[in-house]
Amino acid sequence: MSIQLKSISKSFGDTVAVERVEFTVAEGELVALLGPSGGGKTTVLRMIAGLEMPTSGDILIRGQRVNDLPVQRRNIGFVFQNYALFKTMSVADNIAFGLKIKKWKRSEIASRVAELVELFGLQGLERRYPHQLSGGQRQRVAIARSLAPKPSVLLLDEPFGAVDAKIRQDLREWLVRLHHELNVTTVFVTHDQEEAMEVANRIVIFSKGRLEQIGSPREVYEQPANEFVARFIGVMNVLDCVVKNGQARAGELAFPVSGAANGTQMRIGFRPYAVAVSTDLTLHPHRARLLHTYFLGILLRVEFELPSGLVVRGRMTKEEYGMLGLEDGREVSLHIKNYRVLARDDAPLGSEMAAPVATPPHIAENI
């Protein structure tokens, strides 16, 4: 195991920033720490790096407890969001900086810099200074500098937050290719769900200093551990329901559930792709009106209003939309193909959440 956190907590005075966080990162993994601002993800990254000391708990890197080891002895590469390049040094000198500190031989430094310049696509830029580079080039130099001493772990703090959307997309794809080539254990912090889903092998989700869920992009999207994760990752329809006679009900809508007493309050969630729609008003059990269509490129987001006033968010391709002949105001029939009973946000990690349920033709939807 490359990185192991054992019940790590961190307090700043009376403020608890991280509370009893545990997870592992396998050798060669690319893991994202994801969550809203103030969730604790950057504090966790800084504790792994040695820039912050845990209040309690242990951090192990390749089996060695590193709580008391200073930054320079942890063999970790760290890349900040704002690049932190030396303004008075050229690209080549920035990349070589850590090697000179470690007293590598001059010939070894020249060879390593040349290797990284080629790997990172920086040929011809060796003598330029940071102010002469684009944002994407500066970030590549920063990562090359961190990887130059061949660290066992690479840590990235919001690595693409300081560049525009197009460059950010290019850098994401480049990072994935680089990781496949180098296979360096990498942990990066982001608040961008799409970035985490696209880049990481696994995602560790934080909220208010607590670890909410760990899983692959598919797992956290399709099997959210609680309502926070369900809402934070992608789009989730959520409905407040009350159980009556084995069904979670809201208005004229109902979800079959089992094992819940009458009067039990619960929340039901489903993704937009679970909404099946037809212009044949007899095909599905619920009638609705297409309230609004949002064009998002290849995919369209559609909102349907049911007679009770509930609004359901669905998603379909432009081809599906055209084949159905949909337009705002059109009456349709719909049903939900599967749904989940959502655990409370404050439920402990690992608490049970109902598996997706394929519905018979009586469904519940969300506002």
| Residues 215, 198: Cα–Cα separation, whole Å | 14
| Residues 60, 114: Cα–Cα separation, whole Å | 33
- Helix-then-strand count for the chain, H and E: 9, 21
- DSSP secondary structure letters along 276-303: EEES-TTTSSEEEEEEEEEE-SSEEEEE
β-pairing verdict for 185-190 and 30-34: parallel
pLDDT number for residue 360 = 36
Burial call 122-131: b when 16+ CB within 10 Å, e when fewer: beebeeebbe
| Residues 79, 286: Cα–Cα separation, whole Å | 52
Q: By the 8 A CB rule, do 161 and 171 touch?
A: no
pLDDT number for residue 84 = 80
| Residues 38, 18: Cα–Cα separation, whole Å | 10
Span 282-287, average pLDDT: 94
238-280 pLDDT, tens digit per residue, is 889 999 998 888 777 788 988 889 999 999 888 999 999 999 9
318-338 pLDDT, tens digit per residue, is 999 999 999 999 999 999 888
β-pairing verdict for 275-278 and 237-244: unpaired
Nearest CA among 94, 65, 69, 76 for reference residue 151: 76
pLDDT number for residue 166 = 77
Q: What percent of the chain shows pLDDT beyond 90?
A: 64
Three-state DSSP string of 169-231: HHHHHHHHHHHHHHCCEEEEEECCHHHHHHHCCEEEEEECCEEEEEECHHHHHHCCCCHHHHH
pLDDT number for residue 250 = 78
Q: Which of 301 and 252 is assigned the larger pLDDT?
A: 301
pLDDT number for residue 16 = 95
pLDDT number for residue 255 = 87
25-37 pLDDT, tens digit per residue, is 999 999 999 999 9
pTM for the predicted model, two decimal places = 0.82
49-89 pLDDT, tens digit per residue, is 999 999 999 999 999 999 989 988 898 999 887 778 899 99
pLDDT number for residue 162 = 66
β-pairing verdict for 202-207 and 30-34: parallel
Q: Chain-wide mean pLDDT for the chain?
A: 88
- Above 50 in pLDDT, residue 352? no
